[in-house]
Chains A and B, each alone.
Chain A
Amino acid sequence: MMQWIAFLFFASMTLLSALGVVFLSNIIYVILSLLSTLVMVAGIFFVAGAELVGALQLLIYAVAIAVFYVLVLTAVPWEKALKKDSHYRIEGVLTFPILLAFYLEIILVFLLGVSVSPKGQIREFIQNLGNTQVVGSILFSKYFFAFELVSLVLLVGMIGAVIVGRKEDKTYEDSTS
């Protein structure tokens, strides 16, 4: 009963703030509703008993990622933030089919994931070990290859960021002459 009330609260708040992200005109309000969406999704995870995922959702999405948006957007002067019309109307219309394809892919992947996910086999496992250990042991046994692949991608991204961000000894004008 309590669980249902909590779930309905978090779910409706998620939907409301997600709508806010789309329809609000002030970009600071938009980023705040995005933040609210992320926090509410963490709430849904907590209700579902996935404490580790919920805490990571808060730590990574609501803090580490959203803070970069806030950092950039707070540097925008307030007159520009209130601008009503968009600069990218035509581009937006042109990208719509691609966006639709992406959403279809997400739905497809979600349905496939639901069909192959274990049904009730790990419940006993969770009761014996607790949330964090279960996630760790599954990640490092069943999905080890995918895990290593993702960490390789992140490593490549990190090296790329270091190379892009490093100071050059010579400017580009010097090298061309």
Chain B
Amino acid sequence: MESLFVQLLVIGIKILVILGVVLGLGAYLTLVERKVAAHIQRRPGPMVVGWHGLLQPLADGLKLITKEDIFPRAGNRFLYNLALVLALVPAVLVFAVVPFGPEFEVFGVKVKPILTDVNVGLLLVFALGSMAVYAIALAGWASNSKYALIGSMRKAGIIVSYEVVITFAVMGPVILAGTLSTYEIVQQQINQKLWYIWLQPIAFVVYMFAMLAETGRVPFDIQEAEAELVTGFTVEYGGIKFGLFPLVEWYVEVLSLSAIAVVLFLGGWSPINIPFLGFIDPLFFLGPLSPFVWFILKVALLFLFVLWLHWTLPRYRIDQITETAWKVMLPLTFVNLVLTAVLAPIVWR
């Protein structure tokens, strides 16, 4: 009985930590984004609220919450609100299968820093990740506005194309690891002394493309397209409801897909890798904390890379985006799949 209680307690703590970290961090990443964007464009960015604008997200949140909640006259209120829930829930649920570090012991209780280590974790990630399309399609339809509808149609087209691509791209690491569980994939990379990016550079590049497309980041932000669609499917949303969509799409989803990229290609929580020889850990002085720091460091680097692209590149046209997916990305992933099948016995030896 006591062990059951302890287990429930551990699960509860994990859920609270994940929710707190994801939503809190999501809010603060708006500040990071604004600062990075500002420095790319050689201006200081938010400086007024707090030291170097450190309290800016709180001020933004306060402003959004106190705004009037406007609703379009001919819209559908139930679906309009349901779209918000459908956007937030799957995006946060993805973190249930993200492993943050190796197993450790607290007060004699073994704790895996992952909420549920299911055998098919990776499939769940992509199933939940692409549920976002329903939120956007519903938001566009329920708003009853042309801009919103065009934006949501574009997003649906992109997701349909890139969902296929991303699933085939991750097959490479799955073949090398021989498992679909996210925790086991990292463990396999540590055992084989190999980050899969060294054998899967094509898959990694394709994955990054698909990640940008799924999260609607530049150069694939065609469903928002500020210049022509005035932020697309969110155009009829106001106040905190408007704030929620970019929070989910641009921050929570980018974070979760970056974390999955780190798990699949960059060895999760393992330190710097020399292929087939071993690992070098310049952060050894942190002791048992070092794996967690490595994981956070890698995710942060990928996130900054996405920001860097966002504020540097122009936008593709919708037909160019889908054409790249079907005619370039998908054949590339097939080539990669065949190459991986040939290479896999070397890794397994």
User: Given the interface contacts A67-B159, A71-B137, A74-B141, does A58 sit within 8 Å of B76 by beta carbon?
Assistant: no
Contact with A along B137-174 (1 / 0, CB 8 A): 11011001000010011001101100100010000000
User: Given the interface contacts A71-B157, A71-B160, A78-B74, does A51 sit within 8 Å of B79 by beta carbon?
Assistant: no
Complex: chain A residue closest to B140, CB-CB: A74
Complex: chain B residue closest to A35, CB-CB: B134
> For residue B127, which residues in chain A have a CB less than 8 angstroms away from its CB?
55, 58-59, 62-63
On whether the beta carbons of B123 and A56 are closer than 8 Å, the reply is: yes
Partner of A74, one of B126, B152, B167: B152
| Interface assignment of B304: CB less than 8 Å from any CB of chain A | no
Complex: chain B residue closest to A76, CB-CB: B141
Q: How far is the CB of A47 from chain B (nearest CB, A)?
A: 13
**Bound state CA distance, A28 and B144, in angstroms?**
13
> For residue A68, which residues in chain B have a CB less than 8 angstroms away from its CB?
160
On whether the beta carbons of A74 and B180 are closer than 8 Å, the reply is: no
**Number of contact residues on A: which range applies?**
20 to 34
User: Given the interface contacts A28-B141, A78-B76, does A70 sit within 8 Å of B124 by beta carbon?
Assistant: no
On whether the beta carbons of B119 and A132 are closer than 8 Å, the reply is: yes
On whether the beta carbons of A131 and B153 are closer than 8 Å, the reply is: no
> For residue A54, which residues in chain B have a CB less than 8 angstroms away from its CB?
120
> For residue B130, which residues in chain A have a CB less than 8 angstroms away from its CB?
63-64, 67
On whether the beta carbons of A52 and B120 are closer than 8 Å, the reply is: yes
| Interface assignment of B131: CB less than 8 Å from any CB of chain A | yes
Q: How far is the CB of B146 from chain A (nearest CB, A)?
A: 11
| Interface assignment of A157: CB less than 8 Å from any CB of chain B | no
| Interface assignment of B118: CB less than 8 Å from any CB of chain A | yes
On whether the beta carbons of B118 and A51 are closer than 8 Å, the reply is: yes
Give residues in B with beta carbon < 8 Å to A: 74, 76, 79, 82, 118-120, 123-124, 126-128, 130-131, 133-134, 137-138, 140-141, 144, 149, 152-153, 156-157, 159-160, 163, 167, 179-180
Give residues in A with beta carbon < 8 Å to B: 28, 32, 35, 51-52, 54-56, 58-59, 62-64, 67-68, 70-71, 74-75, 78, 130-132
| Subset of 5 A-B contacts with CB under 8 Å | A28-B138, A51-B120, A59-B123, A71-B153, A130-B119
